[in-house]
Amino acid sequence: MQHVHIFLDEFGNASLNLDKAGTFSHFVLTAVLLDEKKLEQAQLLRDTISQRFFQGQPIKSSRIPNDEKGFRKRLEVLRELRQLDFVVLGMVINKSKLEGAGFDHNDVFYKYFNRIFLKQFPKNFTAFSIHADQLGWPEFRRSLHHYIETKVIQRDLFTPERSYRLVEDKAEEPLVQLADFLSGCLGKIYCTSHSHEKASALFDLLHDRTFIDFFPFEITDYLLSPTPEDLQKNHLIRRIASESAQEALSGRNSLSEEALAVLQYLYLMFRTAPDRLIEKREIIDKLKRRFPTFSEQQLRVCVQHLRDNGVLIASIQGKSGYKLPDGVEDIAGFYNRYLNSIVPMLNRIHICNRKLMVNSVQEVDLLESNSAYSLLHELIKTLDKEKHAPLIE
């Protein structure tokens, strides 16, 4: 049975007085996951990093200066750590968006977010040990420990190998120091009040083995809305669309008779009623007069070939049919149709790869290890980075 060791630390504090100088805009919970088989290697690497970068003292993110030299040191430590197979899970809490009087109380704040963050581990692992950096006063620590044991761990006859303990001294469990360091790195990426201007360099080193959830949990809207400035370009889009159709109809492209017939009808409708979206059934019925077995599948293939040959053909989000674009809104509707398909597909691949990486603690990572998936990996990385751009710029 795989036994996973989970090392926890946090960046920031529970204070919601964001107007106070030096207050943290976000609170970051960080978990570093290591397979038990990797513990010895992790301990040796921790000792090496401690000797090389911290004069043999405990590894603490806060001991690294926030200047250029300190940032280069942070990057060097990260590169050293990448020798080790580990996974980082994080939760970034945007304190400006918290609603409810209960969050003003530290004990409520810490218990609530620890429960949300830690409940993923019983779902993903049968056997695990959680080692958490202690925080707060003794009475609160006892209360938190009891709360996690009863509300999160869910130990029973079939899953006895589960434990949670608060580490009183990071020298007592030195690997918690890795969580301290990595939590500090995440803080410099995602905590806008304390972020580093070169946070994207940290992101690039951590991205392939780090998975972040944001609270409040939000659904990103990827749909495009034309701006007034864009709408002024309608005449250009109309002209370019018309010229793309004329170029294809001139016969200089190797298009099938069916594809040319589809384009002829679309171009005719564009010239007579440019705002009109032509239903698929109407196009199919028109084509069947010349090609009796013409089907919807053939129509899709014809449109694909026309687009591949540079003809501008729009299909609008939420509607059925095709047209040559008459303006920016047609293009936006076309892009939105694909965004609504491509982005969720990439997210599903990301979720699948996250599940495999987390549950195997880095052993299964097809996107990173297989060059055949390098394009998918880069697309997901770019999408993830773009989603978090306001935090890391």
pLDDT at 344 (0 to 100): 87
The answer to whether the CB of 309 falls within 8 A of the CB of 255 is yes
Within its chain, how far is the Cα of 107 from the centroid? 30
**Which residues are bridge partners to 94 per DSSP?**
26
Closest CA to 135 of 24, 10, 17, 31: 10
State the number of CA atoms in the 13 A half-sphere of 39 facing the CB.
Answer: 13
Sketch the domain layout of the chain as residue ranges: 3-218, 234-326
pLDDT tens per residue, range 319-328: 889 999 999 8
Using only the alpha carbons of the chain, give its radius of gyration: 28
Share of the chain above pLDDT 90, in %: 49
The CATH architecture to which 3-218 belongs is 2-Layer Sandwich (3.30)
Amino acid identity, residue 196? H
DSSP string of 34-98? Answer: EEGGGHHHHHHHHHHHHHHHSTTS---GGGS-SSHHHHHHHHHHHHHHTTS--EEEEEEEEGGG-
> pLDDT tens digits for 121-157?
988 888 999 999 877 666 777 888 888 888 778 666 5
* pLDDT tens sequence across 368-387: 888 888 888 888 888 777 66
Q: Quick check: 312 and 324 in contact, CB under 8 A?
A: yes
pLDDT at position 390: 45
Same fold, 3-218 and 234-326: no
Which CA distances in Å does 76 have to 87, 175, 235, 275?
18, 18, 53, 58
- Report the C-alpha gap between 70 and 76 in whole angstroms: 10
E strands, the chain, are 3-11, 26-35, 87-94, 127-133, 162-167, 210-215
pLDDT for residue 199 is more than 60: yes
Average pLDDT, the chain: 88
CATH tag, 234-326: 1.10.10.10
Q: What does the pLDDT read at residue 333? A: 87
Token pair recorded at residue 252: 């200089």
Sign of CA dihedral 52, 56, 60, 62: negative
3-class SS at 171?
coil
pLDDT of residue 323: 95
28 has pLDDT over 60: yes
Confidence of residue 35 (pLDDT cuts 50, 70, 90): very high
Length of the chain: 393
Contacts 24+ apart (CB under 8 A), 274-277: 274/238, 274/323, 274/324, 274/326, 275/326, 276/323, 277/316, 277/319, 277/321, 277/322, 277/323
pLDDT of residue 72: 95
Distances from the Cα of 10 to the Cα of 90, 169, 251, angstroms = 9, 15, 65
pLDDT bracket for residue 219 (50, 70, 90)? low
Cross-strand partners of 129? 5, 163
Phi, psi angles (nearest 5°) of residue 156: -150, -170
Instruction: Output 249 or 227, whichever has higher pLDDT.
Output: 249
> Lowest-pLDDT range, 161-175, 181-195, 268-282, 303-317?
161-175
Do 80 and 48 meet the contact criterion of CB atoms below 8 Å apart? yes
Query: Residue 253 in 3-state DSSP?
Result: coil
Give the SS3 label for residue 316: coil
Q: Which residues contact 377 (CB under 8 A, 6 or more apart)?
A: 208, 367, 368
Q: What is the pLDDT of residues 274-296, one digit of tens each?
A: 888 999 999 999 999 999 999 99
The string of pLDDT tens digits covering residues 327-338 is: 988 888 898 888
Query: Does the pLDDT value for residue 18 go beyond 80?
Result: yes
- The CB density around residue 336, as the number of other CB atoms within 10 Å, is 17
